[in-house]
Amino acid sequence: MRASSNALLIPAEDFPTKSLINILIIMIIMVTFINRTEEMEILEEIARSDRAELVLIYGRRRVGKSTLLIEFAKRHRALYLLADVSKNILEILANQIKDRFVRFGNWEDFFEFLYESDYEIIIIDEFQYLYMVNKAFPTQLQRWWEKIKERNKKIILCGSMISTIYKIAKGYGSALYGRKTREIKIEPLKFYDVIHFFPKLSLEKIVKIYSVVGGIPRYVEEFDPKLSLEKNIKKKILNKTSFLYNEPMNLLFEEFRDPASYVSIILSIVQGYRRFNEISSFSGIGENKLSKYLMVLERVDIIEKDMPVTEKKIKVKRTRYRVKDNFYNFWFRYVFPNRVLLERNEVDKVYNLIMKDFNSYVGKTFEDIVIQIFPRLKIMDYDRVGRWWHKDKEIDIVAINDKERKILLGEVKWKSRVDCDRIVKKLKEKAEYVPWNIGERKEYYAVFAKSFERKSEEAICLDLQDIQRKINSR
């Protein structure tokens, strides 16, 4: 290949040592790679594409983006580069090129290497750090892309700091806006994916684990299936030397310059203040500023809007906010308020406080799980599924089939020996308040529980064993 006058190339066999970055990459590859089939298929499609591709991949930190991309790079002759904020980042990037030693005298050398090299697929992980080191990086890439794309190369940019990524690659007017050929958001794993991490555990135990750590692979991997839930929580979260002890605050400080307002909002929601005016009052943030903060927290996947499933348009008065991430929910509910005790190593005391409320907490997560897995239960064909509420009336799960005018109303109980008939009776009473095709609809009922004392002929009653069978039957 041709390189600029400032770039030095040496065969790999003459380069005596591996960089620390390469060692770290090897360590990342060793992380469990579970069920990213859909995302991998998209990447394989990109690899097969006969056109140039400028791809943006983004998502929360620890969600498994690097593991996915390294697995993909192993299957192809792809160059994987991992960025950071070091002042000598050009040297660090050069040392990651395994088949030769390259020196980049400046950023133009770096981009010329991307253009001239025989790598068809180039992955730049944590690319937002390059912008932090070199503010001109997006515009330089924009300029060079017009040249690079003539060679039908594929450049994959991957990043974790969502606010920065919106600024440089997603937002209207950003340097890369309109130039990206694809955009892929890597989501946390769903409950049915997390099951694969714990093949020997019961569904009940996995529900509890998922309620604590959610679907972030790095967090799930922290839990040792050989230990009890109690020991895992004490050792992996409440221990002030553990990785997860400060994790949410660390990420908030990385994402935001001043996370105090965001912490106040999350605490408000966790403590049950879920409407816009309630959050404003509890957090002390004026309503004129609150909308922006809420939008940013939604963007980084920590919270989300919750609307009654019967509503087709967003209505402020009916909108609630909820903490979307289970680990943030758990941490701000139990760890943050008890930091003083934990700093004094009173782990047992905090754990006992958690257990007084834990069943109720898991019960709300179990509702989310049932909504997640509803398509796999194959109870009915539906157009949308979610919660419903109005004033003091709430129904845990409602599924709607608009064309056939069918509606399923369900209750989710994190309890054993549930009397299904009694639950169905209450469901029928609440159904009268659900304003959807009243008098013209066909109603169905469902109850989900840990176990039943008796099931009902008037409803679909699924316990944990039934749910396990339906998930396994896929």
Domains of the chain: 9-185 (3.40.50.300), 193-364 (1.10.10.10), 378-472 (3.40.1350)
Q: What is the average pLDDT across 115-135?
A: 94
pLDDT at 18 over 80: no
pLDDT at 138 over 60: yes
pLDDT at 100: 74
Angle made by CA atoms 212, 218, 220, in degrees to the nearest 5: 35
pLDDT at 264: 97
Give the pLDDT band of residue 474 (cuts 50, 70, 90).
low
Average pLDDT value for the chain: 89
pLDDT at 51 over 80: yes
Give the pLDDT band of residue 162 (cuts 50, 70, 90).
confident
Q: What is the average pLDDT across 191-217?
A: 95
Say if CB 374 and CB 399 are below 8 A apart: yes
pLDDT at 164 over 50: yes
pLDDT at 22: 44
Backbone angles phi, psi at 185, to 5 degrees: -100, 125
Both tokens assigned to 353? 């406080």
CA atoms within 13 A on the CB side of 35: 14
pLDDT at 84: 93
Q: What is the average pLDDT across 166-195?
A: 84
Give buried/exposed letters for 267-280 (b at 16+ CB in 10 A, else e).
Answer: bbbbeebbbbebbb
Q: What is the average pLDDT across 401-416?
A: 96
pLDDT at 35: 64
Q: Please provide the size of the chain in residues.
A: 474
Say if CB 64 and CB 56 are below 8 A apart: no
Task: State the Cα–Cα distance between residues 41 and 302, nearest whole angstrom.
Answer: 27
Q: What is the pTM of this model?
A: 0.87
Task: State the Cα–Cα distance between residues 381 and 375, nearest whole angstrom.
Answer: 9
Give the pLDDT band of residue 174 (cuts 50, 70, 90).
confident
pLDDT at 31: 43
pLDDT at 8 over 60: no
pLDDT at 12: 36
Residue 222: count of CB within 10 angstroms of its CB:
19
pLDDT at 2 over 80: no
pLDDT at 378: 92
Task: State the Cα–Cα distance between residues 236 and 18, nearest whole angstrom.
Answer: 32
Q: Which of these ranges, 303-307, 311-315, 342-346, has the smallest mean pLDDT? A: 311-315
Percent of the chain with pLDDT over 70: 92
pLDDT tens digits, 242-274: 999 999 999 999 888 889 999 999 999 999 999
Task: State the Cα–Cα distance between residues 356 and 358, nearest whole angstrom.
Answer: 6
pLDDT at 47: 95
